Amino acid sequence: MSAKPNTETPEEHDVAASLREYAKKGINEGIDNKTRLDYYREMVRIRRFEERSLRAYQQGNIGGFLHLYIGQEAVAVGCVSVMKEDDHIITAYRDHGHGLAVGMSMNECMAELYGKHTGCSKGKGGSMHYFAPDKNYWGGHGIVGGQTPLGAGIAFALKYKKLKGACLCFMGDGATNQGPWYESLNLASLWDLPVVFIIENNGYSMGTALGRHSIGTPLARRAEGYDIDWSTCYGHDVYEVRHNVGAALERAHESSRPTVLEIMTYRYRGHSVADADDTYRTKQDIQDYKNTKDPINLFHDHLIEEGIADADTLKQINAEAKEEAEQSAKFAEQSPFPPESDIQADVYWETDNPDERTSEGTLFFN
């Protein structure tokens, strides 16, 4: 067990010093400067994308739910940066950050939010249901905790195929009280599945604070009942995230054992942007986190301090990301909606491949 009590207050935790320490530790040792800069770029791209999508939502171009990842960027970027060829990833509905981190384009992601035919799911999935199986990204799932057995299943398939890969299965702190996760923990440990359950603990299960929705912290400690190794770490530091995910992935690769990793993070926006954000926390709470632990600002200052980049370079990266996000909104606006005939496409493999159909009879009833 490598549990680290997360009882420090922001004041006690010297975030800048910790970042400097993790920058040179283990998996982060010897990374070239270009790669370090790429982490910054990826985090910034996610934030600018999310900000632009929020504007599109406020302008009425996006409907439904929009669960923004702003504040949590270092988690997705850090985790994905450690993945190897046969590693896979699945998450819940706050899925834009993971999508961009695995290499989905802003265009396909933004167009999906607009419900356009050029979206990653042709406008059929929406914000909560991004998929990119060619990048080992298996969604994007809308029901809290519903993706956790799927994550165990991906790990099962990798082991069945004798591949040296693992599944990073993301979930929120709210999902830790859903039954299917416990069933998944039992199966994962019983059957030695190479899965890492990553709890992105942003402190709130929708609008209910951690202390009001869960007893017994850290949440990852619940893994002990299943003989699963667990740890906790901060999620504002991309290096610290990499360090901890790297250890979990190594365990999965080398001994085909699961891990529960709880990453302490924070979201700046409501559960979904349509939700009231003033019933369970104050603006000051959000500002306090931003002031002390914003993952992008911290990394920005660190890169400059370490002489990895100058302020102008980082400013340029920001400008490029902003422009890329702006262009993706234009792309989405100009893209066509799916044709009406598309409503019944992609339902069955067979109806999409009529020449290879083996069944007979009626599949659709109109």
The residues binding other proteins (CB under 8 A) are 88, 90, 119-125, 129, 131-134, 138-143, 146, 148-158, 160-161, 179-180, 183-184, 186-187, 190, 345-350, 352-353, 358-365
- Contacts by 215-222, CB closer than 8 A, 24 or more apart: 218/3, 218/5, 218/6, 218/262, 219/173, 219/176, 219/262, 220/3, 220/260, 220/261, 220/262, 221/3, 222/176, 222/182, 222/185, 222/260
Return the bridge partners of 169, or none.
Answer: 90, 197
Q: What is the closest distance, in whole angstroms, from the C-beta atom of residue 2 to other proteins in the complex? A: 26
Residue 167: partners with Cβ closer than 8 Å, 6 or more residues away: 87, 88, 89, 90, 151, 152, 154, 155, 158, 194, 195, 196
The residue (of 107 and 231) whose beta carbon lies closer to other proteins is: 107
Minimal CA–CA distance to 123: which of 164, 64, 71, 165?
64
The Cα 79–Cα 96 span in angstroms is 14
Q: What is the closest distance, in whole angstroms, from the C-beta atom of residue 205 to other proteins in the complex? A: 18
The residue (of 295 and 338) whose beta carbon lies closer to other proteins is: 338
Q: What is the closest distance, in whole angstroms, from the C-beta atom of residue 157 to other proteins in the complex? A: 4
The residue (of 289 and 331) whose beta carbon lies closer to other proteins is: 331
The residue (of 34 and 162) whose beta carbon lies closer to other proteins is: 162
The residue (of 138 and 299) whose beta carbon lies closer to other proteins is: 138
Contact in structure between 287 and 14 (CB atoms under 8 Å) = no
Residue 102 carries which side chain, given as an amino acid letter? V
- What is residue 308's DSSP assignment? S
Q: What is the closest distance, in whole angstroms, from the C-beta atom of residue 89 to other proteins in the complex? A: 12
- HSE (side-chain half, CA atoms, 13 Å) at 357: 12
Q: What is the closest distance, in whole angstroms, from the C-beta atom of residue 352 to other proteins in the complex? A: 6
The residue (of 25 and 357) whose beta carbon lies closer to other proteins is: 357
Q: What is the closest distance, in whole angstroms, from the C-beta atom of residue 281 to other proteins in the complex? A: 29
